[in-house]
Structure 1
C-alpha cells in the first residue's frame, strides 16, 4: 500500500517575513523594497510575491462583488459595423451571425433616417443583442426601433443590447457642450425595455489618450454622477431609472492582470456610488472592447495576440459583452475575414478554453484581490477629488482632467520611447522586411483642451513612415553598417541592439561585419555603403581601440556618421574628440535620436 504524501505536514510553514528575509540574504543586503517592489502608473506598490497573509483581516473584493447570476457565466460576442449602406451592413451582420456573433453594434451616421427594414432584415431580435451607436442622441431612432420590433411581434422585455451616445465623450474629445434633453427622452423610452440599456458610458477616450487604470475607473464613474444630476434635472426620471439604464463600455488595455482587476474594481466603485444614492441595484452591465492605445500599425498581426490576451483579461474580469475589433481596424477598413478572426477570439475562449465555466476565476488570488483593492482605493480618491471640483464637466473644462491624463500619458510615453515598455514589431523586434501600404497616419492635434485618442506607437509609426516616404520620393534609404570587433559576446549583443535600434525607423541594416584588426575594421567601414557606421564591442575594447578606430575612420570618411553602441562614460570625451558623432544605449531617447538622424540624412541636397 502506497504511503500517503502530505506536503503540508512534511514541510514546516513559512511566513511572509521569512520569505522576505531569505530574499534579502540573496540580494546580499540590498534594500528589498528598492530592488523588488515596483510601482504602477497609478502609484500602487506591487510586491514580488503575495501570500495568504496579504488578505488576512480583509473583506476580499470577490466577497462583495455582486454578480447578476453567479451560477451562469456567459457574455455576448459583439461585432461592430459602421453603416454606410443598410444592405451591405445587413449582409455582413447575417454572415457573421453564422460565425457565432451574438451581438451587433451598428454605428449610424443618419440615425433618424436609417431604414431599419433593410438593416435588420432576417435578424432574430429576441436572441441577438442589437445595439446602436450615434454621435448625437436620437430618440427618434429608438422610437423607430421599438416600433419595428412591435411590427415583428417582438416584445420590448425580450430585447437585449444597448444604445450608445455618450455626450460627455463628445465633450472630452471635441469640446462639444453636452445637451441632455434628447438623452433623457431616450431613457424614458428604454426604461420600458428592461434589458436594453439607454445610457452607455464609455471609457475609451481616457484609455486611448494615455490615462492610467485608476483614472479610467474614476472618471467613468464621475461621468455617471454627472449624468444622474443632469438627467434628473431636465426630466422627471427618477435616480433609480437612470441607474437601471446604465451600461459601462470600457476599453481593454494590454496589462493582463491589471485589466482583470480593472473590471472588478469598476463594479465595486459603481456599487459604492449606487449605495450612496440609496439605490438597491448593485450590478452593472459591462461591455469591454479593444482599445486603440495598445494596437500597432507595423507588424499588425501581433494585434491578433494582443486581442487574445485583452479578451482573456476582460472575460476573467467578468465582462458581460466582448467586442474585439479586427486586428487591422486601427488603420484600414477590416475585411470579412478580419471580422471573423476577431469573433473567433471569443469563440475559442468559450469552446476550447472553457472560460464560461467559472463565474469569477480570479477570486482568492492573493495578487488580483490586492490589486483590485488598490485600484478601488486609488479610483475613489480621484473620484472624490473630481467631485470636489464641482463634478466632471467643471473639472474637465477647467483643465484638471486633461492635465492629469497628460501626466499619465507622459509617463507611459517615456517608457515606450526608452523601449522599457515594449511594443513588439514597433519599438522592439521590428520586421525589417515588412511591406506596408499605409503612407500617412492621422496627426494628433496639438490641443491640450481636449483628449487625443491615439495608438501608443504613434511616434514610432511616424518615424518609420517618414523613412518610407523618403524612399518613395528619392529611391534612397539610410544604410547602417555594423562594424564588430573585440569581445565576442559583447560585440554580438551590441550589434543586435544597434540593428534593432535603427531598424525601428526603417533603416536598412547591412549586416554584422566582424574584424580582428582595428585598422582593417575602420577602413572597411569607411569604404562601405553605410551612411551610418556603428562600432560594436565591449567597453574595455572601446578603451583600448575606440580612439584608433574613430581616428582612422574619420580620416577616410569624414562625411559619414560614426556611432558607438554603448556609453563608456570615462571615454566619452576622448571618443568624441577622435570622431565619434553619437552614442546609442538603453537610456537613449529613441524618438529624438532617430528623428535627428532622419533630419540629417533626408536633407534635399543629401544623396544617400
Structure 2
C-alpha cells in the first residue's frame, strides 16, 4: 500500500477549474469580489500562477530578477538603533550599551534634550572612526555637524555613514559619507503610497544628479531612505522595485555597469498608535521582516513607545527585533528571498511601471522642485492620506487595538515625542475622540431585544464599535416586550443607547420604544433599515450603527449631539 501511495500523482487543476470552484464557493457573489484594489491603483488577483506571471512579464521576468540580485549589497540589514536620552551622560552610556549589544550603526537625531557642546561633539567624533553612522540634522548650521571638524584629517577617508537632511550637506575630505538622500520618509509620513514614494525617490535623484559634474560623483554621495509600513508584501515589492527603477534610471544616464545604492530603511510610524502600544511592537516586527526580505541595507526599528517616550527596555526590545530576524531567520543566506514569487514579482513589476510613469510626469513638469511648487505633490499626498484615513475609519484597513479589538481599559498617554509629533498618523482621530469622550465620562448602553442568540451578534458588534472610544456600554439582559425595554431605559444611567436585535425583533418593537423612551436618552439602532429609516428618524431615532460605517464620523456626531443635549 505504501508503494501505491508513493506512485500516486494528483492532477494539477487549471486556473479555469480553480476559478469555477471559487465561484461555486462564493455562493452567488461575483468572482470580482475576490479582487482587491490597492491604494496605488493596482488590482490584486486572488491567485497568481507561473503561467499568469510569464504571460504578464515574458522575458522581462528574468531581467527583473537578475537586476534585483545584481544590485543587492552583500552586507545587508545592518542594525541602526536610534539612541534616546535626556542628558549627554545618558546618551553616551546608552550608545555604548547598544553598540556592545548588537547595534552596528551610530544613529542620532540632532534634536536631543541637551546641547551639542564642543565636548559632546568631540566625544561623538571618536565613534565615527570605528563605526558607521546615520545622523539626522536640521540644516547646514546644525551644531551636530561640528562632529566632522573633530575628526583628524588622516582618518577622514575611512569615515563612512549617512547624513539625513532636507538639503544636501557639503563635506570636504569625507569621500565615504553620503549626503545626497532621496528621503521618501517625509512623503511617507504625509500619506504617500508605494508608487509615489518610488517616483519621488527617482525625481529627487534626478535633481541631485544634475548638481554634480558626473553621474559617478553623484552616485557615490547618493542613497535612498524608505519607511516600511504594515502592508507586508507591498513593502517587500517596493524595496525590490526601487532596484529595478534605479537600473533604468542609471541606464538613462548612459551607465551600463551596476551601481549599487544603499537602501536605508526604518519602520513606519504613521501606523503606530498610542492605544494598546504593544501592538506597535507587532507592527514593527512585521515591517522589519518585510525590510529584511526586501533587501534593506540599513534598518532602524522604532520602539513601540516611540510616540511618547522610549525607555531603555523598549529600545532594547526594538534592537532585539532586528537581531533576532537577522541572526535566526536565515533570510540573509539568500540573495533575494522573494525572488520568483508569482505574487511579489507581479507586484514588483506593477510598481516599476506605475512609478516610472509618475517619475516621467514629474520630470515633464520641470522636475521635483517645480512639481512641488505647483502644488501637485501636496495634492497627491492629501488624496492618499484621506484614502488611508477613510479605510481605517471604515475598518477596511484594520488597526488592531485602535479601530478594532480595542481595549477600553487601556489608558491613553497624552505625552508626545516631539521628534514624531508632525507625522500624519491614521490613529490620531481615534485618540483625539477617545480622549474627549473619556474626559466627558460618556455613559452608553446596549438594549438587547429578543433572545440572547438572536441579539448577541449585533450586541457584540456594537460593543466593539464603542470600545474604540474607550466606552464600555451597560448591557441589558435580552427583553422581549416594549414594557421591559422602556423599564430598562428608565433605569439606566446611559444617555446613549444602541438597540441590538434581529431584523424582525427590531422592526416589531422599535416604533413603540421610540414613542415611550425617556426624552434625555439618545437611541440608535444596530443594522440598516432602509424602508423604516425615514419614519423612525421622524419619531425620535437618532440614527444607525452598521458595518462599513465611518466610526469617527458616526461617534463624533453622537458626541456632539450629547453635548448639545447637556447644555
TM-based fold match above 0.5 = yes
Match of 2:103 among 101, 104, 109: 101
Deviation string for 1:26-48 (max 9, x for gaps)? 4467542x221121111111100
CA gap of 1:75–1:146, structure 2 versus 1, over 3 A, is farther
Cα deviation 1:253-284 (Å, max 9, x = unaligned): 11000001110011211121111112334321
CA contact (8 A) 1:522 1:550 kept: no
Root-mean-square deviation (Å): 2.7
Whether 1:421 aligns to 2:397 is yes
Shift of 1:490: 4.1
Shift in CA distance, 441/538, structure 1 to aligned 2, threshold 3 Å: farther
The structural deviation recorded for 1:371 is 0.6
- Of the three residues 536, 553, 565, the one matched with 1:575 is 536
Q: 1:530 to 1:281 in 2, by over 3 A?
A: same
Distance 1:403 1:488 in 2: 50
1:313 paired residue number = 290
Partner of 2:12: 13
Tell me, in whole angstroms, the C-alpha distance in 1 between the residues paired with 2:34 and 2:457: 26
Partner of 2:467: 503
**Which runs of 5 or more residues in structure 2 are unaligned?**
none
Shift of 1:561: 0.5
**Alignment partners' CA distance in 2, 1:581 and 1:522:** 17
Deviation (angstroms), 1:288:
0.9
1:584 counterpart (545, 551, 555): 545
8 Å CA contact 1:149–1:156 kept in 2: the answer is no
Q: Deviations over 1:461-509 (max 9, x none)?
A: 1101212343xxxxxx111111112254441111111112222223342
> Could you tell me which residue of structure 2 aligns to residue 174 of structure 1?
none
Q: 1:221 aligns with which of 202, 211, 215?
A: 202
Q: For 1:4-83, what aligned pairs fall within 5 Å after superposition?
A: 10-27=9-26, 31-32=30-31, 34-56=32-54, 57-60=58-61, 61-68=64-71, 72=74, 74-81=76-83
Please name the residue that 2:435 is paired with. Answer: 465
Q: 3-state SS of the aligned residue for 1:562? A: strand
* Counterpart residue number, 2:139: 136
Residues 183-214 of structure 1, C-alpha deviation per residue, up to 9 Å, x if partnerless?
A: 3x33x543x22xx3222221112111111110
Distance 1:346 1:441 in 2: 23
1:558 lines up with 2:519 in the alignment: yes
Q: Which residue is equivalent to 1:115?
A: 120
Q: Is the 8 A contact 2:275 2:411 kept in 1?
A: no
- Kindly state the Cα deviation for residue 592 of structure 1 after the two structures are TM-superposed: 1.7
Query: Secondary structure at the residue paired with 1:385?
Result: helix
Measured in 2, the distance between the counterparts of 1:592 and 1:600 equals 12
Q: Which of 461, 475, 489 does residue 525 from structure 1 map onto? A: 489
| Whole-angstrom CA distance in 2 between matches of 1:6 and 1:16 | 26
Whether the 8 Å contact between 2:156 and 2:173 is mirrored in structure 1 is no
> Would you say 1:493 and 2:457 are equivalent positions?
yes
3-state secondary structure, aligned to 1:436: coil
Question: Partners of 2:320 and 2:151 in 1: how far apart?
Answer: 31
Cα 1:428–1:13 change in 2 (3 A) is closer
Contact 1:146 1:156 in 2 (8 A): no
Q: Using the alignment, how far apart are the partners of 1:24 and 1:12 within structure 2?
A: 20
Q: What SS does structure 2 have at the residue aligned with 1:534?
A: strand
Aligned partner of 1:89 in structure 2 is: 91
Corresponding residue for residue 335 of structure 2: 359
SS at 1:11 equivalent: coil
Matched residue, 2:221: 245
1:212 correspondence with 2:193: yes
**Cα distance 1:425–1:69, how it changes in 2: closer, same or farther (>3 A)?**
closer
CA distance in 2, matches of 1:52, 1:316: 21
Contact 1:519 / 1:548 at 8 angstroms: preserved in 2?
no
Instruction: Give a deviation string over 1:325-384, Cα, whole Å, max 9, x none.
Output: 111112x22111111111010111123323322221111110000010011111111111
Matched positions, count: 557
- Deviation track 1:289-338 (CA, whole Å, cap 9, x = no partner) reads 122211001111110000000000011000001101111112x2211111
Gaps of 5+ in 1: 168-179, 446-451, 471-476
Cα gap change, 1:164 to 1:209, in 2 (>3 Å): same
Kindly provide the CA deviation profile for residues 6-35 of structure 1, in whole angstroms up to 9, marking residues without a partner as x.
68x712333323322333344467542x22
- Between the aligned partners of 1:141 and 1:95, the Cα distance in structure 2 is 21
Tell me whether 200-209 or 41-50 shows the greater mean CA deviation: 200-209
Say yes or no: does 1:479 pair with 2:443.
Answer: yes
* Counterpart residue number, 1:303: 280
Question: Would the alpha carbon gap of residues 142 and 441 (structure 1) be closer, same or farther in structure 2, given more than 3 Å must change?
Answer: closer
Cα distance in 2 for partners of 1:98, 1:391 equals 44
| TM-score, normalising length: structure 2 | 0.91
Q: Can you list the C-alpha shifts for 1:133-155, whole angstroms capped at 9, x where unaligned?
A: 211136996685375255xx746
DSSP 3-state at the match of 1:515: coil
Q: Is the 8 A contact 1:86 1:119 kept in 2?
A: no
Range 20-29 or range 375-384, more displaced: 20-29
In structure 2, the partner of 1:163 is 163
Structure 1-normalised TM-score? 0.85
